[in-house]
Structure 1
Amino acid sequence: MNNPGQDTPLVHVRDVSKHFGEGDTRVDALRDVSLEVYPGQVIALLGPSGSGKTTLLNVIGCITEPSSGWVNLDGEVVYDGRWLRDDLRKLRLEKIGFIFQFHNLLPFLNSTDNVAVVLSLAGFDAAESQRRAVELLDYLEVGHRKHAMPAKLSGGEAQRVAIARALANRPRIILADEPTAALDSQRAGIVMDLLRKVAEEQEAAVLAVTHDEKIFNRFDHIFHLRDGRLEVESG
Structure 2
Amino acid sequence: MAAPLVELRGIAKTYGRGETAVHALKDTDLQVYPGQVVGLLGPSGSGKTTLLNLIGCIVEPTRGRLNLDGETVYDGRWLRSDLRRLRLEKIGFIFQFHNLLPFLTAEENVAVALDLAGVPGAEARRRARALLDYLEVGHRGATLPSRLSGGEAQRVAIARALANRPRIILADEPTAALDSGRAGMVMDLLRRLAIEQQAAILVVTHDETIFGRFDGTVTLRDGRVVSSG
TM-score range, shorter chain: over 0.9
Please point out which of 44, 51, 56 is paired with 2:46.
51
2:138 is equivalent to residue 146 of structure 1: no
Cα distance in 2, alignment partners of residues 196 and 132 from structure 1: 21
Q: Give the letter for the 1:175 counterpart.
A: L
| Residues matched between the structures, number | 229
Residue 131 of structure 1 aligns to a residue whose secondary structure is: helix
Q: CA RMSD in A?
A: 0.5
**Consecutive unaligned residues in structure 2, runs of 5 or more:** none
Identity of aligned residues (%): 71
Q: Give the TM-score, by structure 2 length.
A: 0.99
Cα distance in 2, alignment partners of residues 77 and 119 from structure 1: 25
| TM-fit CA distance, 1:233 | 1.4
Please point out which of 78, 87, 93 is paired with 1:92.
87
Residue 115 of structure 2 aligns to a residue whose secondary structure is: helix
| TM-fit CA distance, 1:7 | 2.7
2:125 is equivalent to residue 134 of structure 1: no
2:8 aligned residue: 13
Cα distance in 2, alignment partners of residues 209 and 106 from structure 1: 23
1:200 aligned residue: 195
Cα distance in 2, alignment partners of residues 81 and 132 from structure 1: 38
Residue 69 of structure 1 aligns to a residue whose secondary structure is: strand
| TM-fit CA distance, 1:141 | 0.5
2:31 aligned residue: 36
Which portions of structure 1, spanning 4 or more consecutive aligned residues, are displaced by more than 4 angstroms? none
| TM-fit CA distance, 1:24 | 1.1
Cα distance in 2, alignment partners of residues 223 and 44 from structure 1: 6
Cα distance in 2, alignment partners of residues 121 and 7 from structure 1: 31
Cα distance in 2, alignment partners of residues 18 and 227 from structure 1: 12
**Consecutive unaligned residues in structure 1, runs of 5 or more:** 1-5
2:114 aligned residue: 119
2:46 is equivalent to residue 66 of structure 1: no
Q: Is the 8 A contact 2:13 2:26 kept in 1?
A: yes
Cα distance in 2, alignment partners of residues 226 and 138 from structure 1: 40
Cα distance in 2, alignment partners of residues 205 and 144 from structure 1: 28
1:173 aligned residue: 168
